[in-house]
């Protein structure tokens, strides 16, 4: 019987992906004035907020990373390409995690005017850091592993 | 030897897109604000940044003969171009479809440039026989 073994890197990526998905449904930006409040999440569309589909892209990347890790760990029989577009899976994770991190950093730096960040933004930022850490850890895990036959 | 100095079509596409994106990043992106303006920087600035990185790498290796490291954090330069090109194209499509009230010339050129980077990176794989494309 195959026992699923979740490495620390995979755990971090899996957790990051789940947190990213949950955070995407919570408020990314909030606005409150004189008792009137409004919020938008990563799937919302509103003029000049740069949310859907830009923030959704971040979520999709995080979810793709988590799903790949979950499939490789818990459903090893699943047929995934060895090298999608010539990249190893470690490289795919690095590319996606880097893009997620750089985009969340961009939103962190961006002047948001009178808007406030919501819980969703902070969760997505936390998830981005976790995904990047997981992707880097993953390359270290496999650095000493024998090459794929 | 002189033939080797001639840029390939993929390289030309990338080398053209990068500087054009940089120049137009200073034009209005939305309303009267450029990619470097408040409220837009640095989310929209990622596109010209990717273009500049890709075009400078190709120009430097093609015209100066400078020896850059063969791999960057485990990635070949062709892979770096493909990764940045795909991300640039996805960002371009994102900006094309996101809700922006007053899309200006800067945005349209950035979108076209981002798509060009994706196409150029794809062509590069074929030209350099990386095996990504048959």
Distance, in Å, from the CA atom of A16 to the CA atom of A80, rounded to the nearest integer, reads 21
Q: Report CB contact under 8 Å: B83, A87.
A: yes
Largest Cα span, chain A: 65
Nearest to B81 by CA among B67, B98, B61, B95: B61
> Is the CB of residue B35 less than 8 Å away from at least one CB of chain A?
no
Tokens (6 digits) for B11 = 């390289």
The answer to whether the beta carbons of residues A93 and A138 sit under 8 Å apart is: yes
What residue of A is the nearest CA neighbor of B29?
A: A48
- Residues in chain B closer than 8 A to A48 (CB atoms): 30, 39, 99-101
pLDDT of B14-32, one tens digit each?
999 999 999 999 999 999 9
pLDDT of A100-146, one tens digit each?
999 999 999 999 999 999 999 999 999 999 999 999 999 998 765 55
pLDDT of A24-80, one tens digit each?
999 999 999 988 999 999 999 999 999 999 999 999 999 999 999 999 999 999 999
Q: Residue A85 carries which DSSP code?
A: G
Distance, in Å, from the CA atom of B52 to the CA atom of A43, rounded to the nearest integer, reads 30
Q: Report CB contact under 8 Å: A139, B74.
A: yes
**All residues at 6 or more sequence positions from B107 whose CB lies less than 8 Å from its CB, including other chains:** B29, B30, B44, B95, B100
pLDDT of residue B131: 87
% chain A with pLDDT above 70: 93
- Residues in chain A closer than 8 A to B29 (CB atoms): none
Distance, in Å, from the CA atom of A38 to the CA atom of A106, rounded to the nearest integer, reads 23
What residue of B is the nearest CA neighbor of A46?
A: B99
Interface mutation vs chain A, best among B36, B50, B90, B99, most A CBs within 10 Å: B99
**All residues at 6 or more sequence positions from B26 whose CB lies less than 8 Å from its CB, including other chains:** B34, B35, B36, B106
Please state the rounded mean pLDDT for residues B86-114.
97
Res. A3 pLDDT band, cuts 50 70 90 = low
Q: Report CB contact under 8 Å: B39, A111.
A: yes
What residue of B is the nearest CA neighbor of A136?
A: B73
**B134 min Cα distance to partner chain A (Å):** 11
Q: Which of B43, B45, B97 sits opposite A53 (nearest CB)?
A: B97
What residue of A is the nearest CA neighbor of B30?
A: A48
> Is the CB of residue B38 less than 8 Å away from at least one CB of chain A?
yes
pLDDT of residue A116: 97
Chain A stretch 27-66, residues whose beta carbon is closer than 8 A to a beta carbon of chain B: 45-54, 57
Residue B126: φ, ψ to 5°? -70, -45
| ipTM score | 0.93
In our burial notation (b when 16+ CB lie closer than 10 A, e otherwise), range B62-100 reads beeeeeeeeeeeebebbbbbbbbbbbbbbbbbbbbebeb
**B99 min Cα distance to partner chain A (Å):** 5
């Amino acid at each position: 019987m195959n026992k699923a073994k979740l490495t620390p890197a995979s755990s971090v990526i899996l957790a990051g992906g789940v947190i990213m998905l949950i955070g995407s449904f919570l408020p990314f930006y909030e606005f409150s004035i004189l008792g009137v409040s409004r919020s938008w999440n990563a799937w919302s569309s509103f003029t000049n907020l740069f949310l859907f589909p830009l923030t959704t892209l971040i979520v999709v990347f995080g979810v793709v990373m988590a799903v790949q890790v979950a499939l490789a760990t818990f459903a090893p029989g699943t047929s995934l390409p060895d090298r999608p577009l010539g990249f190893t899976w470690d490289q795919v994770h690095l590319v996606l995690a880097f893009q997620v991190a750089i985009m969340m950093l961009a939103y962190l730096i961006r002047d948001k005017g009178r808007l406030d960040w919501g819980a969703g933004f902070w969760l997505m930022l936390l998830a981005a850091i976790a995904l990047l850490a997981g992707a880097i850890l993953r390359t270290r895990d496999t650095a000493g592993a024998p090459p794929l036959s | 030897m002189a033939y080797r100095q001639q840029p390939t079509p993929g390289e030309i596409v990338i080398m053209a897109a990068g500087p054009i994106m940089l120049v137009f990043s200073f034009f209005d992106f939305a309303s009267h604000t450029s990619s470097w303006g408040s409220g837009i920087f640095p989310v929209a600035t990622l596109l010209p940044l990717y273009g500049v990185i890709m075009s400078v790498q190709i120009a430097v290796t093609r015209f100066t003969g400078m020896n850059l490291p063969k791999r960057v954090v485990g990635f070949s330069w062709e892979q770096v171009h493909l990764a940045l090109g795909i991300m640039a194209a996805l960002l371009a499509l994102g900006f094309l479809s996101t809700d922006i009230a007053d899309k200006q010339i800067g945005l349209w050129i950035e979108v076209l440039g981002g798509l060009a980077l994706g196409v150029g990176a794809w062509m590069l794989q074929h030209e350099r026989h990386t095996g990504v494309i048959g």
